Amino acid sequence: MFGAAPAGVVCHPRPAAYVVVRAPDGRVAAIRAVAFDGTTRCWLPGGAGEPDESPEATVGREVREELGRAVRLTGRIGDAVQRFYAVSEQRWYEMTAVFFRGEFDGEPIGAGSDELYWVDPTRERDAFFHACHAWAASQVG
């Protein structure tokens, strides 16, 4: 369990799935963007699931959309719950996320909405927007 909402706040459920792709030098694939507070933060590839979509399908769809890449899942890391406030939507979420190990499958298949960034999870742990992403990235060695 990561994050905490203020007492009395209703958190909206949000199923999600993400993948940790590790490079030979130990860095992991991430998406880097400017957060609403003006800081540059990282997210693992993946995101919110669609209704009736499996976590595996969510990761495949999200990685194609974000990075224009196919991904092959090689194992499951585990599940985590992250509570967080989404400034853009002005609401609290309780994200239940499934994390996988994986690798990119071949060359990019198109343009994605985001740029691939490689982050060192041991030295740049605080770069992740969600603490559960830093935890998952640290589980792949």
Tell me the per-residue pLDDT of 87-104, one tens digit each, with 9 for 90 and over: 888 999 999 999 999 999
CA-nearest of 106, 105, 84, 86 to 96 is: 84
Q: Which two tokens stand for residue 37?
A: 């507070």
Q: Tell me, yes or no, whether 6 lies in a domain.
A: no
pLDDT at 110 over 90: no
33 vs 24: CA distance, rounded Å: 24
Does some domain include residue 1?
A: no
Name the pTM for this structure: 0.93
Mean pLDDT, rounded, of the chain? 94
| 4 within domain boundaries | no
DSSP class of residue 106?
A: S
The average pLDDT across 69-80 equals 97
Q: Domain containing 95 — which CATH number? A: 3.90.79.10
As for how many domains the chain has, the answer is 1
Does 36 score more than 80 pLDDT?
no
Query: Do the Cβ atoms of 12 and 94 come closer than 8 Å?
Result: yes
C-alpha torsion sign, points 74, 21, 65, 94 = positive
Q: What is the domain extent for residue 78?
A: 11-138
Note whether residue 2 is domain-resident.
no
Has residue 16 been placed in a domain?
yes
CA 43 – CA 51 distance, rounded (Å): 22
With respect to residue 15, please indicate whether it lies within any of the assigned structural domains: yes
| Residue 84 confidence (pLDDT) | 93
pLDDT tens for residues 123-133?
999 999 999 99
